[in-house]
Structure formats: C-alpha cells, structure tokens
C-alpha cells in the first residue's frame, strides 16, 4: 500500500472549515472555528478537558453535523469524502468475530471483491504484527492489540485522512510505542494524520503541526517546534508548561 494507490482517487484534501460552530442547547461547545487542513503535515490537536477536541474530530469526519458554518472537502462532486477517511477511537470497538473478520468486515462494506479483501487483510495484519492472531476472537485480545487491530482495519481502507481520538490514552507505554510506530507507518504510506492527545511528549514525537483548542475556540496554530519553544499566546504558554488545569 504505497502512495500510488491513494492517488488513484481524487484528493479530498485540503479540508476547509469555515466559521463552524456546534451548540448543544445554550452551550456553544465549538465556537466559530475557521481553518484549513492540508495534505502532508501530521496535525495534532491538543487542549485541556472540555476544549472540544473530540467534538472537532467528529464534526470534521462527519459523525456530527455542525450547528452553523461549513466543512468543505476538495475533490468535487464525483467523490464521496466519507469513503476516503477512517477513524480510530480511544476505546477500540470490535465485533464479536475473529481479528481477520473484523478487518474483512470493513472492506466488505466498501464492496471490495473477496479475493482482494483476503489479500489486503493478510497484508495489513502482517504490517501491524497481528498475523499470528488472525483467527483469534478479536475481543479476547489485550487493549493494546485491539487498538493495533483498529489501526489495521483503518489502514486496510487506504484512507486519505486518518482521524485518531486519543488512541493511546488507555494503553501502557509499550503498547503506546507500538501504536505510534504504526501511525507513522500509515503516514509514510500517504495518509494524512489528524490526532488528538493529552500527552504533550507524544505531540512532540508524532506531530508536525499543533492546533491548540480551548473552550471550543482555536487559540493557536503553529509548527511543533514553534508551539512548544515559542508559544505566542498566554494560554498556550500556560498549557505547554502544564499550568492550565481546567
């Protein structure tokens, strides 16, 4: 799965978000966001609890509809952007079937032919180190292995954008490292990575650029080095040094 497979379909990036808001009742959980996501840099979204990071991912991915504003993908009318994305959640959600069957399920949804599915499943399980577990029931795997499986499943879809919502928050350091390695491999094969995290060290390791959210607003956007070494905003400075507690 190299970059050439991806360029067969028209690119859906850049994603343009304009004045997007999301309100539940009277509360504005996402407040008037405007930004563009380009193909290439690994984008990490950080911010304190309740900043709206998870909401933002879901709004961009299409799981939620904004209350106002627009989310626009490139690529024109001929392509369905939903089919070119995948998402990995903090807690992996696996069906009660085998490891291989879970990946196969996702591919079958895209109406991919059976023999092609078989090959891709084998490929992707090998790349994530899960090939020995292929026939094991997915839900008896450890949390770390299930998260690797979630990544394998997403990777099999050859997405142009991979959204990750705190993928290692529930994992131990060893599993975290394994997951980060896979994320980088997926990126290397041409997928745009957009990830939220609480782990600032991870943000530094994995990110190329930072989007800093606080209370639903975009406070700062900068390259990783710039954000952590020379934050422009008071809030960013406080957060980067661990002083923001809410």
Q: Which residues bind other proteins (CB under 8 A)?
A: 58, 61, 63, 82-83, 85-87, 89, 93, 95-97, 105-106, 109-110, 135-137, 139-140, 153, 157
Query: Which residues touch 24 (CB under 8 Å, ≥6 apart)?
Result: none
CB nearer to other proteins: pick between 86 and 194: 86
Residue 233 C-alpha from the chain's centroid: 26
* CB of residue 19 to other proteins, shortest distance in Å: 25
* CB of residue 212 to other proteins, shortest distance in Å: 25
* CB of residue 92 to other proteins, shortest distance in Å: 8
* CB of residue 87 to other proteins, shortest distance in Å: 4
Which region holds residue 131: left if phi is over 0, alpha if psi is between -120 and 50, else beta? alpha
Query: Which residues touch 205 (CB under 8 Å, ≥6 apart)?
Result: 180
| Cα dihedral 104, 92, 167, 31 sign | positive
CB nearer to other proteins: pick between 135 and 243: 135
CB nearer to other proteins: pick between 162 and 240: 162
* CB of residue 165 to other proteins, shortest distance in Å: 10
d(CA 56, CA 188): 24
CB nearer to other proteins: pick between 39 and 101: 101
Tokens of 228: 């952590």
**Pairing of β 27-37 and β 68-72:** unpaired
């Amino acid at each position: 799965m190299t970059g050439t497979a991806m360029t067969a379909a028209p690119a859906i990036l850049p994603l343009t978000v304009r004045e997007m808001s999301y309100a539940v009742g009277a509360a504005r959980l996402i407040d008037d966001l405007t930004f563009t996501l380009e193909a290439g840099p690994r984008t990490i979204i950080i911010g304190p609890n309740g900043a709206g990071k998870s909401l933002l991912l879901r709004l961009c991915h299409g799981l939620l509809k904004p209350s106002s504003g627009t989310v626009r993908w490139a690529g024109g009318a001929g392509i369905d952007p939903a089919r070119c994305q995948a998402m990995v959640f903090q807690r992996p959600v696996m069906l009660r079937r085998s490891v291989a069957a879970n990946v196969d399920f996702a591919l079958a949804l895209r109406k991919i032919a059976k023999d092609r599915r078989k090959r891709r499943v084998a490929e992707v399980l090998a790349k994530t180190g899960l090939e020995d577990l292929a026939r094991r029931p997915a839900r008896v795997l450890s949390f770390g292995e299930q998260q690797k499986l979630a990544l394998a499943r997403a990777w099999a879809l050859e997405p142009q954008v991979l959204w990750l919502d705190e993928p290692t928050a529930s994992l131990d350091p060893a599993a975290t490292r394994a997951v980060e390695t896979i994320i980088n491999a997926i990126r290397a094969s041409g997928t745009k990575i957009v990830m939220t995290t609480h782990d600032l060290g991870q943000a530094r390791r994995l990110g190329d650029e930072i989007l800093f959210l606080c209370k639903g607003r975009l406070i700062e956007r900068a390259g990783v080095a710039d954000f952590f070494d020379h934050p422009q905003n008071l809030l960013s400075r406080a957060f980067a040094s661990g002083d923001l507690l809410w």
